[in-house]
Amino acid sequence: MASASTAVRMLPDGGADDEERWLAEGIAGVQQNAFYMHRALDSNNLKDALKYSAQMLSELRTSRLSPHKYYELYMRAFDEMKKLEMFFREETRRGSCSVVDMYELVQHAGNVLPRLYLLCTVGSVYIKSKEAPAKDVLKDLVEMCRGIQHPLRGLFLRSYLSQISRDKLPDIGSEYEGDAETINDAVEFVLQNFIEMNKLWVRMQHLGPAREKEKRGKERNELRDLVGKNLHVLSQIEGVDLDMYKETVLPRILEQVVNCKDDLAQFYLMDCIIQVFPDEYHLQTLETLLNAFPQLQPSVDIKTVLSQLMDRLSNYAASSPEVLPEFLQVEAFAKFSNAIGKVIEAQPDMPVVGAVTLYVSLLTFTLRVHPDRLDYVDQVLGACVKKLSGKAKLEDSRATKQIVALLSAPLEKYSNIVTALELSNYPRVMDYLDNATTKVMAVVIIQSIMKNTTCISTSDKIEALFDLIKGLIKDMDGAQDDELDEEDFKEEQNSVARLIHMLHNDEPEEMLKILCTVQKHILQGGPKRLTFTVPSLVFSALKLVRRLQSQDGDVTGEDVPATPKKIFQILHQTIDALSCVPSPELALRLYLHCAEAANDCDLEPVAYEFFTQAFILYEEEIADSKAQITAIHLIIGTLQRMNIFGVENRDTLTHKTTGYSAKLLKKPDQCRAVYACSHLFWADDQDGIMDGERVLLCLKRALRIANAAQQMASATRGSSGSVLVLL
């Protein structure tokens, strides 16, 4: 027989088959007694109905079943009890038995568990009859349920009490509302039932042998909603306004949460509080709620609950802009920031990923509630740096992922990297990323710039930007070349090249500073990177040259801060670095582009120097015959467009070009190149370049080479046949 002094009995060791058999026996007992109960109900036999219902409910006294199986048995009995309640209500309506007498009658049941289930059922009818104040009946029931102290049986009994009473609370506007104080009674009833249910739920961890602790944890987790429903009921009580919540409800709940010292209960109940009560209540009781977090068990996943609270309040602010002054009034940011600091301090063993996750949520909250407060954003990043200080680069992939989320949040919010560059702690956080993730973050930054077409227009901002993306523009310490995927590398460098084109300032002097800053950084990139980044820098610089060229006045004087001559000096240094990679074909093309630009600026010595460098590359670095053919035609085409050279310089360059053409490996290629050189001596749009004699010499020379090629082909036509050289 169960009683108030019933000792907690352990669940017997048994396999799944045994438990299924015990459940089947219990269900059979419920069904059999329910059958006789129905027969008694049909004949209006109250005495037999109580007898068989008590026997049916006695099946719930078992200690053999796991919580999951016990729930199945409970639901079978619960369905039958609804029919019994309807019978009790009909009996009192007909006057066959008064509800007071019935309330006394069911207390004669032999076993305490069936007696209390019957009391709760009759109590529901008693309240509905309004023959006694609802508060008195509820108080009586919640006190008598203390008679069951077995964790599992007591939990389900109180769950039954909660279910049958939730629509009968003396709430404001309810038909059971009494005097002004009854709302306090309704709240007290739900709170008391919640506290007792939580105690029983926590004690369930001690049922059974120690080796099944993990199993019991899973079983307890399945029953958590039985306890949490009480908080939902509290949140639905109309009379629970902000004052009552602040003064009574929240302190009582938090007291129970902290004192139970059970990590599963604390995590679940804190989550329930956040989910079921209104956002306005959370905002106005923020300090009280946050003060509870450091008092929780160290094993509680505080970061998840606290993050949910911040996410919920930030959503509240985003959906209701009119409440933003309230956030400022209660100093929500400062309270969250202090609470996170206390939680991290109270849990020194908290993994780095947990702490960083908290800062990600705080930053998200800050960006949504106080987007105009960059000092708040920087403060969050600084707190994260403080937590990471003294540690090496992060190796935990989960922590690294959270750091990326932390750094990405300002980019997504402001859509402008320039704003992020104003955050002094932004690069300090990036320093804790490993090399691979630093590169990922750099790509994210560049993609943000491209997506939002952000124009970065000052050299100091570019200096800061290149410091952030240094993982892409130079080899990092400890980086392994063999770890680099070739396709990924190309994509990364192409993104840097695109970025260079986004750097612009309308003031030539500042633009020159920008070019110098970019040059300084990309020349540190090593041979593999220069082929991607140097061309972008060259064409950006040439764009500035064209802009200066179009301006009125003298742009070549030494007193002018930004002149084409100074820019060409930078370009010469930059391309020279590329020619040493070696990437001679690309360097030669860039030299020729620069020579053409110098021609348009009337800088003959500069243009001649660029051609000289192109010839040196051709002679010393380009050995492949196909590359030589392409290069010589580029030289011929560029030289043909030049109009700045004097007679001596032009003769030197054309003579060199013609000589290179005649020395190509294959006769047909020699013929075409020499023929193309004839255009260098006659240009209709250039005065003084109409040397018919030199044109004729080139054509004759091309013809001789063509004849020689035909003779060679005739000698070997068995293999390749005759050759026709078309000019």
Q: What is the pLDDT of residues 353-378, one digit of tens each?
A: 999 999 999 999 999 999 999 999 99
Query: What is residue 688's predicted lDDT score, i.e. its pLDDT?
Result: 56
d(CA 170, CA 232): 16
Dihedral sign computed on CA atoms, order 477, 483, 488, 491: positive
| Start-to-end CA span in the chain (Å) | 116
d(CA 619, CA 639): 17
Query: What is residue 290's predicted lDDT score, i.e. its pLDDT?
Result: 95
Model pTM score: 0.79
All structural domains of the chain with their residue ranges? 20-132, 133-277, 625-717
Distances from the Cα of 447 to the Cαs of 451, 469, 674, in angstroms? 6, 12, 48
SS3 488: helix
**Please, where are the H alpha helices in 679-726?**
692-715
Residue 711 C-alpha from the chain's centroid: 73
Single-letter amino acid, residue 641: R
**198-237 residue pLDDT tens:** 999 999 988 777 777 888 889 899 999 999 999 999 999 9
Q: Which helix (H) or strand (E) holds 528?
A: helix 527-550
Rounded to 5°, the CA angle 141-50-126 comes to 35
SS3 510: helix
d(CA 483, CA 132): 80
Query: What is residue 465's predicted lDDT score, i.e. its pLDDT?
Result: 95
Cβ contact 334:283 at 8 Å = no
Of 546, 651, 650, 647, the residue nearest 600 (C-alpha): 546
Radius of gyration of the chain (CA): 43
Single-letter amino acid, residue 315: N
Tokens of 326: 């309230």
Tokens of 700: 């004759």
SS3 241: coil
Q: Which residues make Cβ contacts (< 8 Å) with residue 636, sequence separation at least 6?
A: 657, 661, 673, 676, 677, 679, 680
Cβ contact 127:137 at 8 Å = yes
Query: What is residue 12's predicted lDDT score, i.e. its pLDDT?
Result: 46
Distances from the Cα of 367 to the Cαs of 372, 375, 380, 413, 416, in angstroms? 8, 11, 11, 7, 14
Query: What is residue 559's predicted lDDT score, i.e. its pLDDT?
Result: 47
Query: What is residue 99's predicted lDDT score, i.e. its pLDDT?
Result: 86
Tokens of 98: 């008064």
Query: What is residue 11's predicted lDDT score, i.e. its pLDDT?
Result: 44
Residue 169: phi and psi, rounded to 5, are -75, 145
Tokens of 724: 């026709």
String of b and e for 49-65 (b: at least 16 CB within 10 Å)?
A: bbbbbbbbbbbbbbbbb
Tokens of 270: 């804190």
- Residue numbers in the chain where pLDDT is lower than 70: 1-16, 178-181, 477-484, 552-560, 683-692, 702, 709, 713-714, 717-727
Residue 269: phi and psi, rounded to 5, are -70, -35
